[in-house]
Structure 1
Amino acid sequence: MNQPHDVQVVLSHDRKYPFHASTLARSSVFFASMLTEPSAARLSTKAKNAGITKRWLVELVEMPSTQYPAGQLELVELNSNGERVDGFAGRVLNENGRVPTKVFEHWERVLYAFYGTEIRIADKDMGAALVDCIGLIEVAEYLGCVNLIGKPVEVALLKHGQVLFRSIQANPQEWADMSFRIRSELIFRESIIHLAGNWNTWKKHRATMQGLTKTPDARRLAEKYHRRLLERSRALENKLASHYPGKIAAPKKDVPVKREEYAKDILVWMALCWYRQWLAHKIIANKGYNADDGGYSLYKDIGAGGDAYMDKAVLSQFHSMFPITKKALNVIENHVCELKEVMQNWVDKSGLLKSNCQLNVEQYPVNHITCTEFERADFPWLKDEREATVAVKKGKRPGGNDIAQRNLEAAKRHQEHRETNFSDEDGVMDEDDEDEEEPFRAPKRGRIQ
């Protein structure tokens, strides 16, 4: 068990860590490419007899910056005695009373994770947890070992419960990026639900669209599920605008129906006329599926029924246009209430007011649709995993080297994805882009004779 340490990682003058090259190379893409036999020091017989085993020395030569978010490691040349050729003792960090940096702690936690040590993250408040999570992710991405810290980071974040989910609702693009980096299914799904349900608003925010350029898959999925919501919203609005209550369309089985038969339901027709005029005004005022909230407020009012909309004040305005008797007005009000109940049922059946997010919308109400049903097959990283899956030969199971190689290849693909240079476009949807959307064709209805 007590194998000699052949690697020393130096973060500063007082943070020097002895490790094993085999462990580091199996766990990290970065170390796998650096800790090779040609780059190792050739120790003299005298050094070996003296118990010196250090053949590689890796040093943190750059602190975190815009170019290197986690800092930068470099291999230091050693002589035949296992000593530094440059004689440097290590970086001395003088913080001059400033808040101590946590970068060394992040590096230490990730390096210790190679040996199975549990990664601990601040859980006193959301801000401290986020600082730790981002720092750990930056280090892990640099080393190519995100798979080691993904789950611990996710667990630490989920401890914050509704505080986390409220933060996701407010900044879904940032959480989509973070969850993609650590491959957190729950947080990524939550982010897409809020992006898709409020896409009409987010697509006008330059900062949001720029944030999504870091994770193009998140934008693609948000647009995909938003289109699905549009289809459901359009279908609902078409149903609301084309519903005929009872048998007013064909009051008699014998056709053609005479005018006298239709005249018997004149007050029902008036109630339907008033209701459709109110609905048409809302649609024209852009309160339907094209609204910033995707029609959520309109559907919520219709789903609530009662006096949530078209109350007595609204009906009085119609009465001023149609000066019928008070008794007739009361009858029309009753018919409008019956229509509201039917429309309320249609909204319930549409499922658009159902919430599929982890946020408690009863305690923390939202102003957009959250009924998106995210399919697990749409997680972007599952495609890479499926492509990397190799058929197991009969009678042969993967060994330790096979598993380690597979993990390194997966980590390397993740690194390559993060390093991809995306388009310089800001991602904000212009009005011309909206015009290119395929026009909606309402379902055909049978013509009433």
Structure 2
Amino acid sequence: MATTGLATPETMREPSHESTPVSRYAANNSQNPVSDSMIEYAPTEHFPIFKTGDVFIKTELVFPPKQWQLHSRVLTRISSWFARSIQQAANEVKSRTWFAYTIEEVEGEVQLVQQEATGEHPVIEVLEGGTIGIDVPKKIENKDPIDPLSQTDHTTKITLYNQIFGSVYNILPPIPTTSITTTLTHCEQLVTLAKALGCISTHLTSHLNATLLQHHQPLYKAIKTDPARWLLLALPLKNTSIYTESLIHLSGAHPCWPWPTKRSTLPPQTRHLIKTKSTHLDHLCTETERSLLLLTIHTPTGHPVCASENAQFGTWFVVATFRDILARELHTLYASNKAALKRGMLFRKLARGGEDYMGFGEMRRLMLRVMPSAVDSLEEDLEILKGEAAVYVQALVRNEALVDVEAEDVGWLTCTVVRGEDIPWVVDEGESPARV
């Protein structure tokens, strides 16, 4: 038996590769199959035209014009924007039985605009071939139809509106995945519109998050190139992985900002957190550098080698040379206003040891020129010094990011630890901060 009024959407698990809940309102030809349910709807009950719908939306920004007939009960439950708008309209006219909106360009922006809804509601007929015929007893005032050739700038926007309206009925929007850039752009556009309408549902964010995370390493490489942009997307999506990855890069590079998205676009509390994390990194670097510059080799009795002991002089000279070269490198590093972008590479070289830093051949040629007596023990002395140095820098070279910093030539430190108290929605809602 078909219902003549609006029933609350019933969701059931349908077999699909994403195990996504499928609504009984799912559109014909949508990506999710419609199966039998305890609640049945009339054959014409499908998105975007529900014959039981009492909210009529029309746009002439594209050709042919597009129409939606949706349910106020569904819209007001999911969208805070529609909840306010419909409540205001209902308060103005107590006997109002339907609501009307147009999507039009207002001062250069495509927006939803509420219209007067008087008399009998429009009748939208789905004709053969999928076209829509419209019989409007009491016409809603709209702008003149635009030239079909001028629709280019609005097609994407209207598609986004259609996808957001569909998401209210648990119809998952198709997200392009040809590249991480196209996926990012589409997700940003959907989130921006969903935020404006106050309808960022868990159903929608879960779908966007799953699509983004399917990119794996290309995703983390993209975050490295503009972490602020990704962090701004992670906040409404409550995506812990993207948020954490972005924060690690932003903190490691602070106070430098080599990215296109402006620092000022981030929330004040996020900018403060980045500064706090960066200050902690600076302290850790200072402590590590002090330990490196005090590095020495000890005698069997446990004392540092001494220049006044003839038998130890060669080793002492190697130690002094090691410290001197390191001190010069640190001086050059911090003389630059981009030290934060480069210090990670220096400490990673120290961690690798071997020929990557103060190679034996290079040091042997130096010693042959200035201190030939130190050559005999040079290889052993360098091995000891580099081994100790690698231990000292371990905390700095630990990679908390999911991108391969060596392969991607990341110059800044990525050892920042992001905890639950650093993630806004974990603090607000007590959700798990686990990364995917």
Q: Same fold (TM over 0.5)?
A: yes
Residue 275, structure 1, aligned to residue 322, structure 2? yes
Corresponding position of 1:355: 399
Q: Contact 1:41–1:55 (CA<8 Å) still a contact in 2?
A: no
> Aligned equivalents of 2:82 and 2:154: distance in 1?
28
1:263, CA displacement in angstroms? 4.3
Q: Map of 1:303-382 to 2, 5 A cutoff?
A: 303-311=351-359, 312-322=361-371, 324-325=372-373, 328-347=374-393, 350-361=394-405, 363-382=407-426
| 2:416 maps to amino acid | T
Q: Structure 1 120/276 Cα, relative in aligned 2: closer, same or farther at 3 Å?
A: same
SS state at 2:104 partner: strand
1:103, CA displacement in angstroms? 1.4
Q: Contact 1:302–1:309 (CA<8 Å) still a contact in 2?
A: yes
SS state at 1:265 partner: helix
Q: Contact 1:282–1:288 (CA<8 Å) still a contact in 2?
A: no
More RCO (CA 8 Å, sep 6+): 1
Q: Structure 1 89/61 Cα, relative in aligned 2: closer, same or farther at 3 Å?
A: closer
Match of 1:265 among 295, 299, 312: 312
Q: Contact 1:177–1:212 (CA<8 Å) still a contact in 2?
A: no
> Aligned equivalents of 1:187 and 1:215: distance in 2?
16
> Aligned equivalents of 2:177 and 2:241: distance in 1?
19
SS state at 1:73 partner: strand
> Aligned equivalents of 2:226 and 2:416: distance in 1?
17
Q: Structure 1 14/86 Cα, relative in aligned 2: closer, same or farther at 3 Å?
A: closer
Corresponding position of 1:35: 86
Match of 1:129 among 157, 177, 183: 183
Residue 16, structure 1, aligned to residue 60, structure 2? no
Q: Structure 1 226/251 Cα, relative in aligned 2: closer, same or farther at 3 Å?
A: closer
SS state at 2:188 partner: helix
1:265, CA displacement in angstroms? 2.2
Corresponding position of 2:279: 227
Q: Contact 2:57–2:68 (CA<8 Å) still a contact in 1?
A: yes
Give a deviation string over 1:50-108, Cα, whole Å, max 9, x none. xxxx511111122795xx4xx21121112233354554487546235848722112111
Q: Structure 1 7/339 Cα, relative in aligned 2: closer, same or farther at 3 Å?
A: same
> Aligned equivalents of 1:93 and 1:384: distance in 2?
49
Corresponding position of 2:36: none
The percentage of aligned residue pairs carrying the same residue is: 21
Q: Contact 2:102–2:142 (CA<8 Å) still a contact in 1?
A: no
Q: Structure 1 197/84 Cα, relative in aligned 2: closer, same or farther at 3 Å?
A: farther
SS state at 2:113 partner: strand
Give a deviation string over 1:140-159, Cα, whole Å, max 9, x none. 01101123432222222222
> Aligned equivalents of 1:259 and 1:334: distance in 2?
18
SS state at 1:221 partner: helix
Q: Structure 1 165/104 Cα, relative in aligned 2: closer, same or farther at 3 Å?
A: same
Residue 242, structure 1, aligned to residue 294, structure 2? yes
Q: Tell me, which stretches of 5 or more residues in structure 2 are unaligned?
A: 6-51, 122-136, 431-436
Corresponding position of 1:193: 248
SS state at 1:352 partner: helix
1:187, CA displacement in angstroms? 0.8
| 2:105 maps to amino acid | E
SS state at 1:302 partner: helix
Q: Contact 1:40–1:56 (CA<8 Å) still a contact in 2?
A: no
Aligned residues: 359
> Aligned equivalents of 1:147 and 1:127: distance in 2?
23
Length-normalised TM-score, structure 2: 0.73
> Aligned equivalents of 2:214 and 2:107: distance in 1?
28
Q: Contact 1:76–1:84 (CA<8 Å) still a contact in 2?
A: no
Q: Tell me, which stretches of 5 or more residues in structure 1 are unaligned?
A: 44-53, 387-449
Corresponding position of 1:115: 169
1:11, CA displacement in angstroms? 3.0
Q: Contact 1:166–1:359 (CA<8 Å) still a contact in 2?
A: yes
SS state at 2:58 partner: strand
> Aligned equivalents of 1:73 and 1:156: distance in 2?
28
Q: Structure 1 125/301 Cα, relative in aligned 2: closer, same or farther at 3 Å?
A: closer
